[in-house]
Every structure is written in C-alpha cells, then in structure tokens.
Amino acid sequence: MKRNYLFIWMLLLVGVVEAASGSSAGVMSLYFNNHLFVDFLIFLGFFIIVTQSVFKDTFGGGLPIALGLILSISIGGYFYKTGLALGDFGPIALLIVSLIVLVMIVNKLKDYSFWVIILSAVGVIGLMLVGLKMNILPDSVNNLLKSVIVIVCIILVLLSVYKIIKLRHDNRDVAAKKKADVADAADAAAVAAAAAKKADVADAADAAEAGDEAAVEAGFAVKEVRQKMNLINYTSNSNNPVNSNKLKKDVILLEGKIKELEVNSDEKKRLIVLLQVILGKKYKFIINKLTNEVDKFVEGYGKKYSVVLYQEQSDFDFLNKEATEEAKVLHEKMDELKDLGLLSGENVNTVLAVAEEVHKKINLVDLYRAIAVNYIGLVVKITELSHNLSHYEDYETLKNYVKVLEEEIQELGVQQSEKDRLNAFLQNISDMKYNSMIQKLTKKVDDFIGSSAGRYGVVEGRDSDSLTRNKAEAEVLREKIDKLRNLRIKFGENAAAAWVLLGRFIKEKAESGPRSSFQRPKEVSAETPVEGKKNLKVVLTKIKKIFTKS
C-alpha cells in the first residue's frame, strides 16, 4: 500500500517543486539535457519488469535481469545513434501517461469517496502537466494565469491529501472499534454463558459459548450478542408466560439477524440451534409453570367453589365435574406441548399459541369466582323472597320480581341442570306463597262463614229467609274455596285471579251482609320493633367483631 502512494507522492513532489520554482526550464530541461541517461533508466526498469514477469518462472531471477539489461542497453544505443528521446513523443505520449496516472490514482483511491478521487486526480495531473511544462497551456496565457492554475492545483492536492489523511484516520478508528466490539462480543458471550449456567441451563450455556465463538469469528456485532445475552437472562428470569409475545418477537428478530449474517450456512445453523436450545428451556419453564397452575386449579378451586355454592358437596358437584373436565383438557394440552419438538420456528409459534390458550383457560378460575359470587347472591335473593312474601300485597309485583329472578337465573354461567334447580327452588317459594294465601283466604272465609252462620243461627226463626239465603251463599263460598284448594297453582294466573275474586267476594259479603265478627288474625312478631332495631345493631357489631377477629 505504501509503495502505491509513493508513486503519487513523487509526482506531487515533482509538480510542487516545479510549480514553486516557476522556472521554465525545470524538469523538462533537466530531462532533455540528460535524456540518454533518463531514457536508459526508463528502458532498464521497463525491460527488467517485463522480462522478469515473463521468464522468471522458467529461468529463475538472474537471467531475466540480464536480459532486461541487454535490451535496455541495445535500445539506449539505438536512441543515441538516432538522436531520439522519449520526450520527443510529445504531448500525446504524455497525455497517455497522464491517463495512466489517472487510472492508477482511481484504482489506488477506489476505497475513498468520489470527491477525494476527483480532487486528487485533477490536482496531481494538473501539477504534473504544468510542472512538466507541457504545451497544454499556450504561450499566450500569461504567467500570472499559469501561476493561478498552479495554486489552484496545489490547493486541490492539499485538500485531497487532507481528506485522505482524515479518511485513513477515521478508518483506523472504525477498525479499532470493531476490534474492541469483537472483544466486547466475546465478553458478552462469556457473561451470557455464565448467566445461562446460573439459570441452570447448562446446555444453553455450552451452545451459547460455541455459538458466540462462531459469532466472534464471523464478526458478529456486539449488539446482537448482547441481545442474545438479554434473551438468556430473559429465559432465566422471566416467569410470566404472558410475556411470550415479547419472547416471540425477540426470537423472530434474532432469527432475522442470523439469516442476515455474512457467514456460511453451517455457522447460521449453529446459531439457530443455539437459539432454539435457549428457547426450549424457556418453553419447558413456561410449560412447567402452566402445569403447576393447572394442578392448582384442579386440586383447589373446583372443589372449593362447589363447597361454597352448595354447602353440601354430595348434593351438587357439577362445577367440580366441570372443573375436572376442564382440567383434563388442559392436561391433554400440556402433554401435547411436552411432546412437541422445539427445534423449529413453526413449533415455537405453535407452543406459544397453545401456551397462551392454556393460560386463558386457567383464567377460568376468575370466572368461577364471579359465578360463585353471582350464584350466592341469587340464592340470597330467592331466600329473601321466601321470607318476605308477606310484603307482596299483590301478585303482579310478586310475579314481576319472580320474572326478574328467572332472567338472572338464565344469565347465570352455570349448567342448565343447575339453572333448573334454581328455578324449581323459586317455583316452590312461589307455590308456598300461593298456598299460604289460599290457607289464609280459607281461614278468612271459614271465619266469615262461621261468624255469619253463628249470628244467623242466633236469630234463626226470626228471619228464616235471610238465614237460608246466607247459608246458601255460605255453601257457594265453601265450594269456591274447595275449588281453589284443588287448583293447580303455577306462578299463576289462577292464583292471582282467585285472590282477586275471593277478596272481592269477601269484601262484598262483609259490606252487604250482617256485620261480620271476622277479624284478621294477628301476626305474631318475633320481636317488638324496638328490640329489632336495637338487636340489628348488636348483630352487626357482633358480626363485624367475628370477621375481624382473625
């Protein structure tokens, strides 16, 4: 490399000296004064190079030099006799030489930027032509203009020299940095391997070491190596399968980087295998974690909620069965995952997709919690209904509330058989209400009849027609009551109609007939309201105390 530049520097030196001297004699006059000697040297160099390149392999080193020397002397003698000189070939010959110089400059500086080449070529050739006093510039061009041209050429040369030096300096820095990066890459690989070993991924570490050696040899940039190190740390530190999306992205990125590497396919394969080994560890980690969660789900939550919901596990265990079924499916998926080979990108994506699906399934636990809470809430509502039936003065309100509860039951996320059970529960409570009403009505009617009949009995004989009429009415009323008792009451329109009809009938009879002694039976309260109010507060305090005790 240095010898190549030596040629350019020599030309530059000649040009600069020539231009700086400002002499019209200069190099050319020196040449023409000694052209025989100079031509001889040129021929000597030329023929020795030619003969050496042609005959060196055949005759060794000495003979070609001797042959070149002979040829040089011969042609030198011919020039001496004829008075010819190489310089006589004129501007055309030197123009050819200039073009050769230009080609050389371009070839030597091809690694540099375009403008450096142009500056160098123009400057060097310009100086050379001017310095050699070629008649490129006519005599009419005065010396001042020639001097300006020379100065411009000198500036161009100096500028190109500066750029060349700067570029060489920058390249040296880049080379040093690259060297340092490779060293960093080695360090990073070592750290990565250590991290992997620490995380009990010995295989991955070995592979990492091997792979990183390959990476260093191939000039694998530190960024990629560090990325890989991050991945190894990720595999050892991350315990959240939800992050599998990030893992997938990292893998795709690294696979892309590996494919882009300018190394042979074997090295790429080695790196891919390294990556897959690391991923394999991660997948196993994810699978193990998911398996644990599934086990926890099976052993804990399913049974737990069946107990909470039904209190007596033997009565209802559908949720338990459902949970077990769900868990069975999950376990099958786990087995599928475990059986998958993990050495290809397609499988990687499959594993991650299935793992995410499994994780979603495990979130069913939360769903069961919500269902359990809803279920309890619904049971409480129905229980409340059964105890608050007396608050429903008319059937319409009751019916509407029952419909609301029916809708809530249908929306509940449990099996149909369980919904049927809750509906039956609700139906029974409604029937209780109807039966209670019928009994109450019957009692009222009986009281009315008894009272009326008694009263009519007392006055019997005084108003036999009235007595007879009332007795007949009482008989009709009793028949109606019997019919009511036999009615099949189902959420019923019948019950509502019966209630209305009977109420109206009793009211009419009470108002139109003799004054009834009927009194609504007094409902017995467990406590007086004052005690109830006081005790509710006490109960609240005690309950809070119990639930904060632990």
Residues that bind another protein (CB under 8 A): 299-300, 303-304, 306-308, 311, 313, 369, 372-373, 376-377, 380, 383-384, 387-388, 390-391, 523, 525-533, 535-540, 542-547, 549-550
Q: What is the DSSP string of 425-466?
A: HHHHHHHHHHHHHHHHHHHHHHHHHHHHHHHHHHTTTTSHHH
CB of residue 190 vs another protein: minimum separation in angstroms?
A: 46
Rounded to a whole number of angstroms, the minimum distance from the CB of residue 305 to another protein is 9
Give whichever of 252 and 539 is closer to another protein, judged by the CB atom.
539
- Helix, strand, coil proportions of the chain in percent (round to 5)? 85, 0, 15
> Shortest CA distance to 271 belongs to which of 196, 193, 263?
263
Q: Which is nearer to another protein, 260 or 523 (CB)?
A: 523
Q: How far is the CB of 316 from another protein (least distance, A)?
A: 12
Tokens of 292: 């644990």
Min dist. Cβ of residue 511 to another protein (A): 21
Tell me how far CA of residue 451 lies from CA of 209, 444, 508, 517, 522, in angstroms. 106, 10, 16, 6, 17
H or E element at residue 125:
helix 114-131
Residue 391 or 490 with smaller CB distance to another protein: 391
In the complex, least distance from residue 291 CB atom to another protein, rounded to whole angstroms:
17
Please give the Cα distance from 234 to 76 (Å, whole number).
Answer: 79
Q: Which C-beta is closer to another protein: that of 268 or that of 304?
A: 304
Provide the minimum distance between the beta carbon of 217 and another protein in the complex, in angstroms, as a whole number: 56
Name the minimum Å distance from CB 358 to another protein.
21
Amino acid in position 381? K
8 A C-beta contact, residue 456 and residue 466: yes
Q: How far is the CB of 509 from another protein (least distance, A)?
A: 24
For residue 188, the tally of other CB atoms under 10 A from its CB is 24
Neighbours of 125 (CB within 10 A): 20
Please state, in angstroms and rounded to a whole number, the distance separating the CA atoms of residues 159 and 255: 46
Q: Considering the complex, state which of residue 512 and residue 550 has its C-beta at the smaller distance from another protein.
A: 550
d(CA 131, CA 124): 10
Tokens 């209670």 locate to 436
Q: Which is nearer to another protein, 265 or 525 (CB)?
A: 525
Q: How far is the CB of 548 from another protein (least distance, A)?
A: 9
| Residue placing its CB nearer to another protein in the complex, 273 or 379 | 379
Dig out the tokens for 127 from the structure.
């100086």
303/331 with CB nearer another protein: 303
Residues 283 and 342: beta-carbon distance below 8 Å: yes
Which pairs count as long-range contacts for 215-218, CB under 8 Å and 24+ apart, including other chains? 215/185, 215/189, 215/271, 216/182, 216/185, 216/186, 216/189, 217/263, 217/267, 218/261, 218/262, 218/263, 218/267
C-alpha to C-alpha distances, 425 to 79, 97, 113, 379, 401, nearest whole angstrom: 131, 113, 91, 9, 14
Q: Which is nearer to another protein, 239 or 314 (CB)?
A: 314
In whole angstroms, what is the distance from residue 316 CA to residue 22 CA?
116
Taking the least distance from each CB to another protein, the nearer of 1 and 530 is 530
Residue linked to tokens 């930027």: 113
Q: How far is the CB of 339 from another protein (least distance, A)?
A: 28
